[in-house]
Structure 1
Amino acid sequence: MKTLLLATSVSLMAISMIAMPDESLKASIRGLKMWWEIVFPSLFPFFVISELLIGFGVVKFLGVLLEPFMRPFFRVPGVGGFAWAMGMATGFPAGAKLTVRLREEKQLTKIEAQRLVSFTNSSSPLFIFAAVSVGFFNNPRLGLLLAAAHYLGNFFVGFIMRFYGVKKQKQEREKKPVLNISQALSALHQTRIHNQKPIGKLLGDAVMSSIHTLLAVGGFIILFSVLNKLLFHLHFTPAIASMLDYILPILQLPKEFGNSLVAGIFEITLGSQMASEVQGSLLLQQAIIVSFILGFSGFSVHAQVASILATTDIDYKPFFFARVLHGFLASLFTVLLWKPFSNYFHIQAMDTAVPAFLQEHDRWWEAILQAFIKIGPLFTIFSLVFYIFFYLRKINSSRL
């Protein structure tokens, strides 16, 4: 039955693409544009730097320093703090990639890696502030609420996931971690000594690994952009959304959010955009739906993470559970933080007087987004040329 279901689904998608080539092409271009302009130039530098920091032992150094914080709160080693910070700064799927890298370095056990990957994948500030708040809502201050609810929810996901796998782990009495700078410096030096690769080799491997991951990410973005569009035109999305007509009113949300919620479950960007365009709804209601979509992250991100985890022994199920939990927690925090944020940051009063310190920074993220749109494609081309150079060099050296 599973084989028949998969074969039928793929065949239906192929027939749909042939029957609707114009819609498929537009969706492909939309996904490619997002990857070309935003995803690649924003993630690539962080991926390369992360690889170099791991190779030079800086991550091990930070891991020793962060051990007193990460171990009590999340029950993961201190190196998890680096993956958590980079995941928040760069967005999906940086947390998964760094977790896998740390697992390969044997700095994490399987259980610790599954805990870590569950809360180190989050939306980047660039996406929350620039794409969602400015691009979809034209309301920069709304990003403050969305970001606070998103990252606060992510923290509590990590705290809850600390109880995952406790029974499987050996109940050993551990010493209370303490801050030890000399031990951290020793770990930094020892990691560098054990890594015999020269700097040029480290840089080449970092570029190859980063671009290889980003090419796969781009493929998933394009694929799910097309899939989402085809499901909408096949009336699959409205059919599922109709099932939510009885659930959303119970939560004091208009049933018109059904289509945007289902779209967001598949692809985060389209779902957030559709939620911002629902007529007759309150801004709070729109923020609740968007917070859930940002927390769940969409099956497009899930597929990216699953493909990265597939090369290791890290299970995908804890990540899926954590994303669902994050969606509900982010929505809850949006409700709890709405009144204080709305009053202090004047989220709804866009045309009235606002504090002077807010006016200067309203369009800061929009300027960053426009810079990425202008410079991003050139940066992507240059990086791909750089990748081809290292790839050909690797092939020639292997032949010799």
Structure 2
Amino acid sequence: MPLYRRYSLPLLILMLLFLFILMAAHPQSSLNAGLRGLAIWWDVLFPSLFPFFVISELLLGFGIVHFIGTLLDPLMQPLFRVPGCGGFVAAVSCASGYPIGAKLTVKLWEQKWITRIEGERLVAFTTSSDPIFLIGAVSVGFFHQPEIAVVLGAAHYGGVLIIGLLMRFHGSRSGDADTHGNRPQSAATAAGHTGQPTPTSLAVAPNAKLDASSAQRRGRLRQALFAMHTARLEDGRPFGELLRQAIASSLRLIIVVGGLVVFFCVILEALTNSGLMSGLRLLTASLLSACGLPPTLTDSIVGGIFEVTLGAQAAGEAIGAALPFKVAAAAFVLSWGGLSVHAQVASILNTTNLRYLPFLLARAAHGIISALLALVLWRPLMGWGSSPVFSPIYVIIWSPGFSSTVLWQSLLFLTCLLIAMLCLSWLSAGTSRLFARLRGAPRK
């Protein structure tokens, strides 16, 4: 038995007992933290995520995944090395936010439309914040300045694109070739039944195959329409049943999301009461000062490590930090996602062979890249203070600490970071092949 498996369960039990003692020692603060997490879930997460969960399930049932997948196949494969159906996951996840990207990726993996390596690439760059939360909750609710949504969105979604380009180097081509042959050729196998685990047929009728071969000669748009039509026919559920199963499945997922938010709010409060968070705050403040950033952003970074909403709220309320730095801290928190989102994604991936480590590394890299992009893009996107809202801010932030030299240094640092991530991706692939050879058996 491996060493980490031998001691993981006792360590987990000890940690849970320790947290239970902390919660019992401070019951009132734990209750208040739980109520605060419940309010975050009910006021922000439930109304913003649940409709997208239901709509995404309905779109899957109607075969939209096959329509978009057929259209985007020439783009997704050369850029991100994922099948065209990954374009549907990327589009829906950018619109609905985490953790819908992981949920849709798992559905594609279950229907054998993607391999393990492709699934790890896809879930790594399709886990992002939704525009409603980014604009409504963060820019308007926490910062009270809708104008910063331009920079915040450009930094966050620009980081998504960069992570997708970096993750294309994740995994070896030999590992992909082992399972590519299992991918169904039918256009309707990816949708599946969302509410019940009833398997769908992987075969297509002979006349459908003839129509597919003729559709390939008519253009990609007709191919996409044919794929969507075939998927809907093979799904076969009436709209009422499809809607019922979509609501039931989405309710289960949104309840899990709310439970995790409340759980991590209570855990963060318990660790704060114990004094253990003071060391993490001191370390974070030292790192921020070493990087030339205001140490007043410590609460935002530390809170964002655990829960994205708490971190973004602390960034908007930070005192003594100029607005561009506060936006950069919010961009880091939104891209990292918090351990709450990590736990949601890990619970979704638990039923598959998709590994969590590539997702973890991608989230850390996304957070750093988004923060740097927010600082680099601030002046080009926000101008030179023509708006009265931003006129006094440039006096604070760009003079004398920020100059063109600092801008070029930031660009150089970003370039070095991208090169380092490429090297790490290649090193990870080589290490995986080496471990497979040492074990004497190929990795599944």
Relative to the length of structure 2, the TM-score reads 0.74
1:10 aligns with 2:16: yes
What is the letter of the counterpart of residue 14 of structure 2?
T
Q: 1:336-375, aligned counterparts within 5 Å?
A: 336-343=376-383, 349=389
Paired position in structure 2 for 1:23? 29
Number of equivalenced pairs: 348
Rounded to whole Å, the distance in 1 between the matches of 2:172 and 2:386 is 44
Rounded to whole Å, the distance in 1 between the matches of 2:301 and 2:47 is 28
8 A contact 1:142–1:347 mirrored in 2 = no
8 A contact 1:139–1:350 mirrored in 2 = no
CA drift at 1:38? 2.3
Paired position in structure 2 for 1:191? 231
8 A contact 1:141–1:345 mirrored in 2 = no
What is the letter of the counterpart of residue 259 of structure 2?
G
What is the letter of the counterpart of residue 43 of structure 1?
L
CA drift at 1:345? 7.8
Rounded to whole Å, the distance in 2 between the matches of 1:348 and 1:70 is 42
What is the letter of the counterpart of residue 136 of structure 2?
A
Paired position in structure 2 for 1:312? 352
8 A contact 2:280–2:302 mirrored in 1 = yes
Change (3 A) 1:346 1:313: farther
Q: Which runs of 5+ in 2 are unaligned?
A: 1-6, 181-215, 393-444
Paired position in structure 2 for 1:381? none
1:234 aligns with 2:240: no
Q: 1:1-400, aligned counterparts within 5 Å?
A: 1-167=7-173, 168-170=175-177, 180-343=220-383, 349=389
What is the letter of the counterpart of residue 317 of structure 2?
E
What is the letter of the counterpart of residue 65 of structure 1?
L
Rounded to whole Å, the distance in 2 between the matches of 1:187 and 1:340 is 43
CA drift at 1:201? 2.7
**Structure with greater contact order relative to length (CA < 8 Å, sep ≥ 6):** 1
Rounded to whole Å, the distance in 2 between the matches of 1:15 and 1:45 is 38
Aligned to 2:144, the other structure's residue is in SS state coil
Rounded to whole Å, the distance in 1 between the matches of 2:310 and 2:356 is 24
Rounded to whole Å, the distance in 2 between the matches of 1:202 and 1:157 is 34
Rounded to whole Å, the distance in 2 between the matches of 1:271 and 1:347 is 28
CA offsets 1:71-123 (integer angstroms, 9 cap, x no match): 11111111111111111111111111111122222222221111111111111
What is the letter of the counterpart of residue 326 of structure 1?
H
Change (3 A) 1:153 1:347: farther
Change (3 A) 1:351 1:339: closer
Rounded to whole Å, the distance in 2 between the matches of 1:261 and 1:184 is 44
What is the letter of the counterpart of residue 10 of structure 1?
L
CA drift at 1:260? 2.4
Change (3 A) 1:11 1:335: same
CA drift at 1:14? 1.0
Q: Which runs of 5+ in 1 are unaligned?
A: 353-400
Change (3 A) 1:346 1:11: farther
Aligned to 2:269, the other structure's residue is in SS state helix
Paired position in structure 2 for 1:379? none
What is the letter of the counterpart of residue 120 of structure 2?
Q
CA drift at 1:326? 0.4
Relative to structure 2, which stretch is displaced further, 121-130 or 35-44? 35-44
What is the letter of the counterpart of residue 297 of structure 1?
G
Higher-Rg structure is 2
Rounded to whole Å, the distance in 2 between the matches of 1:182 and 1:194 is 18
Rounded to whole Å, the distance in 2 between the matches of 1:345 and 1:170 is 54
The two structures, once aligned, show a CA RMSD in angstroms of: 2.2
Change (3 A) 1:193 1:122: same
Rounded to whole Å, the distance in 2 between the matches of 1:351 and 1:246 is 30
Relative to structure 2, which stretch is displaced further, 215-224 or 232-241? 232-241
Relative to structure 2, which stretch is displaced further, 333-342 or 192-201? 192-201
Of all paired residues, the percent bearing the same amino acid is: 44
8 A contact 2:44–2:137 mirrored in 1 = no
CA offsets 1:290-342 (integer angstroms, 9 cap, x no match): 21111111000000111111122221111111100100110111111011123
CA drift at 1:47? 1.5
Rounded to whole Å, the distance in 2 between the matches of 1:17 and 1:345 is 48
Rounded to whole Å, the distance in 2 between the matches of 1:277 and 1:291 is 15
Rounded to whole Å, the distance in 2 between the matches of 1:202 and 1:107 is 22
Rounded to whole Å, the distance in 1 between the matches of 2:149 and 2:385 is 11
8 A contact 1:141–1:346 mirrored in 2 = no
CA drift at 1:276? 2.6
8 A contact 2:385–2:391 mirrored in 1 = no
Aligned to 1:278, the other structure's residue is in SS state coil
What is the letter of the counterpart of residue 108 of structure 2?
L
Aligned to 2:107, the other structure's residue is in SS state helix
Rounded to whole Å, the distance in 2 between the matches of 1:18 and 1:347 is 51
Rounded to whole Å, the distance in 2 between the matches of 1:115 and 1:344 is 39
Change (3 A) 1:346 1:296: farther
Change (3 A) 1:111 1:86: same
Change (3 A) 1:265 1:347: farther
CA drift at 1:16? 1.6
8 A contact 1:238–1:259 mirrored in 2 = no
Aligned to 2:321, the other structure's residue is in SS state coil
Rounded to whole Å, the distance in 2 between the matches of 1:324 and 1:78 is 26
